[in-house]
């Protein structure tokens, strides 16, 4: 299948492109610099220079492709994430970029539009498993994510197959957020916020890339992509500290965190994300069943 990938050089994108090429697909990916273009050529994909905010440019680039995978994001580092302005480009990608890609996919007669999404907007679930049918509470910070998912629905309504993959929190050795987690634990501060008894759900970037490939064959709809065994936040923090041979980190006071806006409040929730629907349809299985298992590999790679 000829596949167009936006966000092809990001933490998830470059892994997904490599998996798609290995599966025998003809992949074109957006590359904004010569270095990133060379990266894509090195893994067997065709780089394309495209401004996702230019509707005409997007339509021209997408023409001739049977599938469009939108993995484009611009997530700020942790130390800037509390600033509203730090999310402006990411919001534009979710709103304008997604709309342009869907318009291009429809014009191209593509069969599939796959949209990357996130699990953070789910309401606090306590100890219960959260499925795709459960309540969403976006707040003001994550409304652009709602719009991105709406674009996938619009593609389905136009006669195509719109697929949304709601990913849990990514982690990988080349993720700036994962590196920040390591540093915070060393300083004695938990990188996870909210109730220490609440659940946090993650997915290793390698497993997420495998889910993109598996997502090519699912019916139109929304699917959670997460580890098999989400862990309570205090247990995650303690495991990270144990592996780094430091004292268990302290959790920041909840009353202070609430001043950080709706995006911070979303991350304070307890989210025990269920991945059963996607697994049963595709046979996809995460190689890292929980972050408690996968974190040792992260540290080993960071220290090598």
Output the pLDDT for position 208. Answer: 98
Q: pLDDT per residue over 103-148, tens digit each?
A: 999 999 999 999 999 999 999 999 999 999 999 998 777 899 999 9
Give me the residues paired with residue 222 across strands.
164
Q: pLDDT per residue over 220-277, tens digit each?
A: 999 999 999 999 999 999 999 999 999 999 998 865 455 445 567 788 899 999 999 9
How many whole angstroms separate alpha carbon 234 and alpha carbon 250? Answer: 9
Output the pLDDT for position 259. Answer: 45
Alpha helices by DSSP H, the chain: 13-22, 34-42, 55-62, 88-92, 98-108, 143-157, 176-186, 205-214, 233-244, 254-257, 262-267, 276-282, 291-303
Share of residues in the chain with pLDDT > 90 (%): 79
292 pLDDT tier (thresholds 50, 70, 90): confident
Q: What is the CATH number of the domain that holds 48?
A: 3.40.50.720
Domain extent at residue 192: 2-303
CA contacts within 13 A on the Cβ side of 14: 15
Neighbours of 295 (CB within 10 A): 24
Give me the residues paired with residue 114 across strands.
69, 163
Output the pLDDT for position 139. Answer: 79
Mean pLDDT within 2-28: 98
* Number of separate domains in the chain: 1
Output the pLDDT for position 86. Answer: 65
Output the pLDDT for position 295. Answer: 87
């Amino acid at each position: 299948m000829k596949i167009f990938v936006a966000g092809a050089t990001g933490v998830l994108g470059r892994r997904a492109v490599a998996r798609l090429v290995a599966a025998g697909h003809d992949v074109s990916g957006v590359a904004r610099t010569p270095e990133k273009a060379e990266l894509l050529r090195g893994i067997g994909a065709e780089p394309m220079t495209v401004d996702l905010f230019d509707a005409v440019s997007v339509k021209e680039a997408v023409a001739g492709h049977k599938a469009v995978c939108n993995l484009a994001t611009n997530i700020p580092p942790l130390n800037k994430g509390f600033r509203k302005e730090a999310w402006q480009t990411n919001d534009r990608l979710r709103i304008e970029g997604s709309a342009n890609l869907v318009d291009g996919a429809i014009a191209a007669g593509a069969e599939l539009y796959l949209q990357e999404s996130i699990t953070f907007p789910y309401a606090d679930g306590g100890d219960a498993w959260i499925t795709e049918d459960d309540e969403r509470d976006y707040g003001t910070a994550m409304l652009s994510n709602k719009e991105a998912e709406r674009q996938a629905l619009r593609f389905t309504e136009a006669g195509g197959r719109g697929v949304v993959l709601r990913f849990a929190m990514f982690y990988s050795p080349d993720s700036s957020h994962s590196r920040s987690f390591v540093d915070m634990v060393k300083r004695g501060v938990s990188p996870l916020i909210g109730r220490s008894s609440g659940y946090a759900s993650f997915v290793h970037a390698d497993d997420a890339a495998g889910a993109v490939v598996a997502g090519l064959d699912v019916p139109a709809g929304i699917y959670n992509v997460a580890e098999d065994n989400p862990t309570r936040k205090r247990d995650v923090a303690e495991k990270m500290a144990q592996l780094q041979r430091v004292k268990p980190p302290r959790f920041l006071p909840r009353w202070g965190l609430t001043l950080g806006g709706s995006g911070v409040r979303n991350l304070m929730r307890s989210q025990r994300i269920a991945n059963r629907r996607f697994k049963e349809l595709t046979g996809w299985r995460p190689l890292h069943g929980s972050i408690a298992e996968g974190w040792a590999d992260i540290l080993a790679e960071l220290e090598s």
